[in-house]
Amino acid sequence: MKFVAIIAMASNAMVAPAMAKDLFDITISTEGVTSGETFASAVDFFDRLENSVFSSLSGAYTETSVATARANFRGLPFVIEYRDDTAALHFTSSVIDIDETFVGADRDESENLFIDYLQSNDSNITQKITDYTVSQTATDPVAGNPSSLVDRTAAADFSSSTSVGGTLPATSSVNSAVAFGARLGRFTVGDQETSVYDLPIRYFARLTDDGYGIVFDAPITIVSVEEAYSYSGSIGLGVRLPILPYWTLTPGARIGAVGSADLGALAYVYDGSLTSNVTFAIDEFQFSVGNAVTLSQTASVTVDDYEIDYEVANTIFRNGVGVVYPTDITIFDMPTTADIAIVNTTITGDDVYIDQYTDIALSIGLADDDENSLYNLARFGLTYSFGAHDYSGLTVNFGYQF
Predicted confidence at residue 18, as pLDDT, reads 40
What would the mean pLDDT of 385-389 be, rounded to a whole number?
97
Predicted confidence at residue 2, as pLDDT, reads 37
Closest CA to 385 of 133, 189, 159, 153: 189
> pLDDT-based confidence at 8, cuts 50/70/90?
very low
Predicted confidence at residue 124, as pLDDT, reads 84
The per-residue pLDDT for range 335-367, each reduced to its tens digit, is 888 999 999 999 999 999 999 999 999 999 887
* Homologous superfamily of 2-15+141-401: Autotransporter beta-domain (2.40.128.130)
| CB atoms inside a 10 Å sphere around CB 165 | 27
What would the mean pLDDT of 266-283 be, rounded to a whole number?
96
Eight-class DSSP state of 375: S
Does residue 147 or residue 308 have the better pLDDT?
A: 147
H/E element holding 230? strand 228-244
The per-residue pLDDT for range 193-252, each reduced to its tens digit, is 999 999 999 999 988 888 899 999 999 999 999 889 999 999 999 999 999 999 999 999
Predicted confidence at residue 325, as pLDDT, reads 93
| CB atoms inside a 10 Å sphere around CB 330 | 11
User: Is residue 24 over pLDDT 80?
Assistant: yes
Distance of CA 100 to the CA centre of its chain: 33
Q: What percent of the chain has pLDDT over 70?
A: 89
H/E element holding 272? strand 265-282
- DSSP assignment of 150-162, as one string? HHHHHHHHHHTT-
For the chain, domain boundaries: 2-15+141-401, 24-132
Say which range, 12-21, 152-161, 187-196, 291-300, has the weakest mean pLDDT: 12-21
What would the mean pLDDT of 74-98 be, rounded to a whole number?
96
What would the mean pLDDT of 36-56 be, rounded to a whole number?
92
The per-residue pLDDT for range 136-176, each reduced to its tens digit, is 999 999 999 999 999 999 999 999 999 897 666 555 555 77
Predicted confidence at residue 17, as pLDDT, reads 40
The per-residue pLDDT for range 113-134, each reduced to its tens digit, is 999 998 887 778 889 999 999 9
| Mean pLDDT (the chain, rounded) | 88
Does residue 154 or residue 370 have the better pLDDT?
A: 154
- 246 and 278 Cβ atoms separated by less than 8 Å: yes
Contacts of 169 (CB under 8 A, 6+ apart): 163, 177, 179, 202, 204, 374, 375, 376, 399, 401
> pLDDT-based confidence at 316, cuts 50/70/90?
very high
Contacts of 161 (CB under 8 A, 6+ apart): 170, 215, 238, 240, 248, 250, 252, 273, 275, 277, 290, 292
User: Is residue 370 over pLDDT 80?
Assistant: no
- What is the pTM assigned to this prediction? 0.88
Predicted confidence at residue 172, as pLDDT, reads 52
Distance of CA 93 to the CA centre of its chain: 26
Predicted confidence at residue 304, as pLDDT, reads 66
Predicted confidence at residue 173, as pLDDT, reads 54
Say which range, 58-67, 135-144, 203-212, 382-391, has the weakest mean pLDDT: 203-212
Predicted confidence at residue 174, as pLDDT, reads 57
Q: CA–CA separation, 263 vs 76, rounded Å?
A: 13
